[in-house]
Structure 1
Amino acid sequence: LCPILATIVAMARNEDVMGMISYDPSSTIEMILALIATIFACASSVRMITFLRRRADEAKELGRYRLKEKIGSGGMGDVYMAEHRLMKRPCAIKVIRPEKSADPKAIARFEREVRSTAKLTHWNNVSIFDYGRTSDGKFYYVMEYLTGLSLQELIKRRGPLAPGRAVFLLTQVCYALMEAHGIGLIHRDIKPANLMVTELGGAYDIVKLLDFGLAKPVEATSSVSEETELTVAGSLTGSPLYMSPEQAMGEALPDQRSDIYALGGVAFFMLTGRPPFESGPTLKVLLAHAHEQPVAPSTVMGSSHGFPSPELDTFVLKCLEKSPDLRFQSAHDCLQALEELPEADHWNSKKAEEWWNSNCSHYQSQHGSPHGR
């Protein structure tokens, strides 16, 4: 209000204004009323600006965290880069969408994702730090902030991976699945977008398995429970491009061997730059998973990266067997098979560091797209 008052004082000292008032005294009342109205209007505007600024500041705060920027979104919620207000530790926060907050099933699924992920401690699984609900009803959880690229984005930018590097990354996915399966969790949505390739503690090409929003306890596959009610048997769960035949057809509730099938699809994508069955209408892709035999990766990939060995071809095709009984029966079995491949020692941490330093120093940190649900 100070500028307004200063203007009034200046007008009162202005000879022309005072002369007009002396000539026509009735104008004094009109001027005073106009000035009073102006003062009230300005005061109201100041209050509104203060209110909006306060709301904007509140929007940037979420519990003990300060939001910095939105870095991703999906069907379930948005992901923000943030930091703890006191410790200044960077983190990523997933906030459920407002329209989902009123849906009990969406809330239950969101909470299930938090509970599932919070049980995991292996460095190849994303870490959860915190969980809460704001005063206006927004649910959120806080996870480690990762720098790097999703496998989907990495291959989109740089093309198919060298076979040795693919084996190096697949080995880490097996470790992540071994922990999840070991505590009774089936991921059910293994895909390139849910695998982050990152730097961690000075080590490069570290894989992080993300998004346990569809994870389900193994015991829930044998009986109807609270968990199975959240995703009805026979409904479509997961990405059609990497979905096991039993998921695609809804003939049986998936077990850990469904994750093995998806792992084979991811391996195929790493080596060729495309999923086992080309994208198209969803129904066509689902039927292909159920009835068509995939080709060996070596018949698809280009020679610029070197061809996979026959043993690596066999590994991928065994993961992609239609019958769960013909696949590797566990992530541990997959890990053992990978360690015996000719490519097992073709890539290491030193090569990974050299690759990232020469190729990706300019890449933006990404965390949102893998989390989008």
Structure 2
Amino acid sequence: MDGAWRVAYRRPRRAKRSCHVPYFVHADSPGAEVAAVKTCWNCDNSVPETYRYCLACGADVDAGPDRGEASDKMVGAVIVGKYKLLAVIGSGAMGTIYRAEQLNLAKTIVIKLLHAHLLTDQELVQRFQREAKAASRLDHPNCIQIIDFGQTEQGALFIAMEYVPGDDLATILEREHPIDLRRLIHVMKQVCEALDEAHANGVLHRDLKPENIMVYDHRTERDRVKVVDFGIAKLDENNPNSSRSFRTRTGIVCGTPEYMSPEQARGKTLDARSDIYALGVALYHLVTDNLPFDAPSPIEIVTKHLVEDPVPPRKLRQDLPAAFDRLILSMMAKDRCKRPTSVMDVRAELDRIDRELAYERHAQVAQPRDPDATIIDVTQGEAFRRAVAAVDNNSRRTSRTDQAPKERAVATSAPRVKAADGGSGLVRKPRRQAPKTPAPQQYDPQAQATIDASKRSTAEVGGRAKRPKRGSRAALWIVTTVLAAAAVGVGTWAIISATGG
């Protein structure tokens, strides 16, 4: 990295799950050398007057434990005559985020105001404007929509954007870990589609992390995604439809250290594969609930991204499919030439893994269940699949071999088994039991007389059924009469012929 640089970094107390907010300032930037300092309310360390976050503990020095929404003078204010600020949602390195109301439509929106003490820094003002321009280029259901951009009566810059009534992935991870893999894949496929839209329009996010991925339930779909916070997105002004030419300013490093690609840390030319690296780190974090690289300071974290290899996520989560493990590690390759070339390649691989997981779960559910079966705890994953295949092969070999009656009896009497999850396992049919012979009953004369009478009645009915019907007898008499008449006629003709002769 060219030139010396300082870091004003909001270091979370719980590094794994809390929000990571970056704020990097070049040593040669105007106002970097200041004598005025203030004291952090959390650790009592001295902080430069122009810094909002403590360099030692990462606390918000300007807010403090007894300040914030209650003392925010902007809450309740109406800006540019049409947006009323209702409540503070959060605060980042560049601005404060408010839940607001668009008065003419009575619609809930979000307003992001640039911090007043940053208005004199032209680099940060341009970055704030770039966020509005970058996000406004994107027209996709999974990208945050920009409503308005402008300046308040007091000169503060603001961005008005749609309100997403959900939680970010960092909050979901803290509340629901471990996240179901198929649910996580569903979310990440949408993130890939949002990034693909950004890259196709010449926009790199450069700060992708779980905190910037919002998840909410739509009327027609669960876990719909919005990718937010393009605050340090980079545009290629000369070619707005190109995603191949992005460059940071020399000596300036932007991003969150925990999710920063090696080339981004070095200040090199970036492309879509830098966002793919950050997406791989986010996947690692969401799958394992651990960051691949963590350290007490941002410099140490960035150094680990440059020189260390991550622990394979499958060692931290045993049920993770091998294909998922390989995908995450390929996305986090130090050499970007070894990463997937586009986010849609990542999406295609996630889709393939999802189909395999769906097939496995369907096979587990399709297994017959017996309430009397013996439940055996079976470990899921590759070892279980290999064991099932081995037993299946043994079963086929056994079926081709003649078994002795005793062996077959033993085999058929084996108990049924199934997996602890109620789905997988091998099932053998229980031995059929011979029907029980009813016990002999004592002779009852009255019952026997009833049975005999029933038999005689049945015989009489059967006998009557065998007699010819009345219609059949009439036909027989007619045929007999006709034959007799014919015989008489023939005899008479013979006599007459003889007499005449």
Instruction: Provide TM-score, normalisation by structure 2.
Output: 0.53
Partner of residue 233, structure 1: 250
2:309 is the counterpart of 1:293: yes
Question: Match for 2:353 among 341, 349, 372?
Answer: 341
Counterpart code for 1:126: I
Deviations 1:42-81 (A, max 9, x none): xxxxxxxxxxxxx989734443111111111112111111
Q: Give, in whole Å, the separation in 2 of the partners of 1:57 and 1:167.
A: 38
Deviations 1:136-189 (A, max 9, x none): 101111111111111111112222312212211111110001000001111111
Deviations 1:13-34 (A, max 9, x none): xxxxxxxxxxxxxxxxxxxxxx
Counterpart code for 1:99: H
Question: Match for 2:120 among 98, 102, 108?
Answer: 102
Name the SS for the 2:217 alignment partner. Answer: strand
Q: CA deviation at 1:220?
A: 7.5
Partner of residue 47, structure 1: none
The answer as to whether partners of 2:287 and 2:313 remain within 8 angstroms in 1 is yes
Number of positions where the alignment pairs a residue of Structure 1 with one of Structure 2: 282
Q: Give, in whole Å, the separation in 1 of the partners of 2:152 and 2:83.
A: 11
The answer as to whether partners of 1:164 and 1:344 remain within 8 angstroms in 2 is no
Question: Match for 1:134 among 136, 139, 152?
Answer: 152
Name the SS for the 2:230 alignment partner. Answer: coil
- Seen in structure 2, the aligned counterparts of structure 1 residues 207 and 73 have a Cα distance that, compared at 3 Å, is same
The answer as to whether partners of 1:147 and 1:198 remain within 8 angstroms in 2 is yes
Partner of residue 323, structure 1: 335
Name the SS for the 1:200 alignment partner. Answer: coil
- Seen in structure 2, the aligned counterparts of structure 1 residues 318 and 58 have a Cα distance that, compared at 3 Å, is closer
Deviating above 4 A after TM superposition, structure 1's stretches of 4 or more consecutive aligned residues are 55-58, 218-221, 342-347
Q: CA deviation at 1:234?
A: 4.1
Counterpart code for 1:127: Q
Q: CA deviation at 1:201?
A: 3.8
Name the SS for the 2:294 alignment partner. Answer: coil
Name the SS for the 1:204 alignment partner. Answer: coil
Counterpart code for 2:273: R
Question: Match for 2:326 among 314, 317, 320?
Answer: 314
The answer as to whether partners of 1:100 and 1:107 remain within 8 angstroms in 2 is yes
Counterpart code for 1:335: R
Partner of residue 266, structure 1: 282
Question: Match for 2:167 among 149, 155, 180?
Answer: 149
Question: Match for 1:247 among 236, 259, 264?
Answer: 264
Q: Give, in whole Å, the separation in 2 of the partners of 1:57 and 1:149.
A: 22
Counterpart code for 2:257: P
Structure 2 runs not aligned, ≥5 long: 1-72, 240-244, 360-501
Name the SS for the 1:314 alignment partner. Answer: helix
Q: Give, in whole Å, the separation in 2 of the partners of 1:313 and 1:171.
A: 16
Q: Give, in whole Å, the separation in 2 of the partners of 1:287 and 1:272.
A: 22
Counterpart code for 1:278: D
Deviations 1:97-128 (A, max 9, x none): 11112222222111110000001111111111
Q: Give, in whole Å, the separation in 1 of the partners of 2:116 and 2:81.
A: 17
Partner of residue 216, structure 1: 234
Q: Give, in whole Å, the separation in 1 of the partners of 2:75 and 2:308.
A: 55
The answer as to whether partners of 1:127 and 1:143 remain within 8 angstroms in 2 is yes
Q: Give, in whole Å, the separation in 2 of the partners of 1:56 and 1:95.
A: 10
Q: Give, in whole Å, the separation in 2 of the partners of 1:346 and 1:88.
A: 43
Please give the residue correspondences for 1:1-373 in structure 2 after superposition, counting only pairs within 5 Å: 59-218=77-236, 231-250=248-267, 252-301=268-317, 307-342=319-354, 346=358
Q: Give, in whole Å, the separation in 1 of the partners of 2:87 and 2:251.
A: 38
Of 337-346 and 95-104, deviating more is 337-346
Of 153-162 and 113-122, deviating more is 153-162
Identity %: 35
Instruction: Provide TM-score, normalisation by structure 1.
Output: 0.71
Q: Give, in whole Å, the separation in 2 of the partners of 1:105 and 1:56.
A: 24
- Seen in structure 2, the aligned counterparts of structure 1 residues 111 and 163 have a Cα distance that, compared at 3 Å, is same
Partner of residue 33, structure 1: none
- Seen in structure 2, the aligned counterparts of structure 1 residues 206 and 288 have a Cα distance that, compared at 3 Å, is same
The answer as to whether partners of 1:165 and 1:346 remain within 8 angstroms in 2 is no
